[in-house]
Chains A and B, each alone.
Chain A
Amino acid sequence: MNILLIGNPNVGKSVIFNRLTGVDVISSNYPGTSVDYTRGFLSISGKRHQLIDVPGTYTLEPTCKAEEIAVELLKEGDVVINVIDATNLERSLNLTLQLIKQKIPFVAALNLFDEAEHTGIFIDVEKLECILNVTCIPTCALTGVGISKLVNSLEEVKVSDFDFDNEDRWNTIGNILQEIQHIKHKHHTFLEALRDYSIKPVTGIPILLIIMVLMFLSIRFVSEGIIEHISNPLFNSLWTPVLGKLSALLQNNELLSKLLFGEFNTVLNYETSFGLLTTGLYIPIGIVLPYVFSFYTILALMEDSGYLPRVAVMMDTTMHKAGIHGLSIIPMLLGLGCNVPGALATRILETRKEKFITATLLSIAIPCMALQAMLFGLLGSYGYKGLLIVFTTLVIVWFIVGNILKHTVKGTSPEIFMEIPPYRLPYFKGITKKVFMRIKWFIKEAIPFMLFGVLLANVLYAFNILHGIEKVASPLFVHCLGLPKEAVGVLILGLLRKDLAVGMLIPLQLELNQLIVASVVLAIYFPCVATFSVLIKELGIKDMLKSVLIMLITAILVGTILNQVLNLI
């Protein structure tokens, strides 16, 4: 039997899905988290059934892609669990009535039932059952209340015989609500007051700025704390002795020991030695992982509290300058952690134009945490000047390229039109699960590419392959960008991992101005391989090639101009 979970966006379908199957699905407090659907299995009295988590939809007459998928999936289902938002019965019942019109057998789960009572909404469930003539079960997916009852109810699912005039649907719903819903007026709660203040421009924009600064400071504080107090001591006290013993064993094999440990004579430097077991493991685990961890923890708090859609609304006017609307802030923010989930999130955007612009701007001007972590290390030692120039340049580039694309890319960008969910207190398990899954993903993506990159760098140097490429590209590098020709190799490795490439800048002993130009060019010129492959899937090859061309031209132009400007100062 195929069981479908159907309901409005952001009513807790994914949490119910997790409860029923134990399969991990990321849920967030904003609409459209599951544009993709997920399948899992659950057993009812010994029999295995397939459960499908359908993307949230407000209607069975699709108005966007997620809704089209939902309607398409409906054909596969034998029975439906209609997840109803108890805090928002009117809108939820609209979908329920459409299910009834199509004669689809279902049971209704009135989720967020406890939250509804908190806000003063009381629902007579028995009366609702009487009117609709289907099973209705109050649930609270987060705590698990009502879930086992829901599973049991699936043994007997029927088609509702409730009759109504489809043209007069809202009136019908109004009449039902009058009979079953009782609303007690309550005083404004703290969360409701916050809800208003955080979206009015006068108070909302200062709040947004404060949150962004706090986010930035706490990410640096937490990550640097982890690096200094956990990862460095661990590497030094546990890993260094192991490496020492290994290198003694491999003393006679020069090639192998160079590959594994890189250049180290007396003191081991994890950042510059460039061996598979030294730099290849230290950069992703020792430096980047702490940053990725703290970034995603803080982002998860913002997601689950429901703050992100407010950011989208407040950023809407700004984003319009680049021809995209406020919702594009979500891929951009995710991309600050790692560009791969950012690229995947472009799926929530509807038109080709929006996707193309968002993906291109993401690749050009949104440095991932890995790159940022290395930049903080590299440029941070010179004070804030270098970092300030790099990030300001990227912001300016974001606006200029965005504005050019807005006027040149064909197609339309729809306007923002979305529900803003209420604030909810993030729950611990949801946060840890989400952070854990994203870190698992990062480790799976980052470490293989990192090791491969270090290996490739060593092979390229060992066989002098880079010299040929350096010769061809050196006029561009030396004259336009003011960089030594050795930087060509850095950019080639940057295709694999940008953090690795920044690490390779260290032994070149560049001046601050050169480091700034190199960092900016490295950020702009190309997404890393992992992001690139996701974007090919999302945009198609033709659009991706166009996008890459824009990136390369932007990188050369911006690098050249920056080099000239910095030399003047």
Chain B
Amino acid sequence: MTKILSEMQRAEKGIIKQIRGGKELLARMDSLSLYIGKEIELVSKQSKRGPVVVKLGNTQVAIGSGIAQKIIVDVK
């Protein structure tokens, strides 16, 4: 089942399927090793429009809600 990252539930895991953004966003995501095919886990969500925190491998990354809406994840 695919979901937008900002709609994932806590502790849900999934694989990044699509990034709906321009070159710049793709480059920034890529630099933090958020690429298509990468497995991530949602660690926490702040308020409704707050940032999400995802776990990838051994690190965690905070992603603002606007960016999180552009990331499509294949949820397990």
Contact = CB atoms under 8 A, between A and B. Distances in A.
A225 interface: no
Contacts of B30: 59, 94
A90 B51 contact: no
A200 B24 CA distance: 29
Given A90-B33, A199-B43, A416 B64 contact: yes
A419 B59 contact: yes
Interface string B47-76: 101110100011111111111000000000
A90 B57 contact: yes
Contact of A325 (B24, B27, B44, B64): B64
Contacts of A87: 58
A417 B67 contact: yes
B66 A201 contact: no
Chain B contact-residue range equals 20 to 34
A23 to B, nearest CB: 28
Contact of B27 (A59, A91, A317): A59
Contacts of A422: 58-59
Contact of A316 (B43, B46, B58): B46
Given A59-B27, A204-B44, A88 B51 contact: no
A36 interface: no
Given A325-B64, A417-B28, A201 B57 contact: no
Contacts of B63: 415-417
Contacts of A61: 27, 31
A313 interface: yes
B28 to A, nearest CB: 4
A195 interface: yes
Contact of A201 (B44, B49, B58, B59): B44
Contacts of A170: 33, 35, 37-38
A235 interface: no
Contacts of B32: 58, 91, 417, 419
B31 A94 contact: yes
A204 B62 CA distance: 14
Nearest to A313: B62
Interface string A92-118: 001000000000000000000000000
A165 interface: no
A106 to B, nearest CB: 19
A490 interface: no
Contacts of B24: 63
B18 to A, nearest CB: 16
Given A199-B53, A326-B51, A419 B60 contact: yes
A420 B59 contact: yes
A563 B52 CA distance: 43
A317 B62 contact: no
A196 B67 CA distance: 22
A421 to B, nearest CB: 8
Interface string B11-39: 00000000000001001101111010110
Contact of B58 (A119, A199, A317, A416): A119
Contacts of B47: 201, 317
Nearest to B63: A417
A119 B59 CA distance: 12
Contacts of A421: 59
A121 B46 CA distance: 30
Contacts of A199: 43-44, 53, 60
B31 to A, nearest CB: 4
A346 B49 CA distance: 24
Nearest to B62: A313
**Residue with the greatest number of chain A CB neighbours at <10 A, chosen from B33, B49, B67:** B33
B31 A59 contact: yes
Interface of B: 10, 24, 27-28, 30-33, 35, 37-38, 43-47, 49-51, 53, 57-67
30 contacts: A59-B27, A63-B28, A63-B31, A67-B31, A87-B58, A90-B57, A170-B35, A170-B38, A195-B60, A201-B44, A201-B50, A313-B51, A317-B46, A317-B47, A320-B49, A415-B51, A415-B63, A415-B67, A416-B51, A416-B62, A416-B63, A417-B28, A417-B61, A417-B63, A417-B64, A418-B61, A419-B32, A420-B53, A422-B58, A422-B59
Task: Give 10 nearest A-B pairs by CB, closest first.
Answer: A415-B64, A58-B31, A59-B31, A317-B50, A420-B60, A91-B33, A63-B28, A200-B44, A416-B64, A313-B62
Interface of A: 58-59, 61, 63-64, 67, 87-88, 90-91, 94, 119, 121, 170, 195-196, 199-201, 204, 309, 312-314, 316-317, 320, 325-326, 414-422
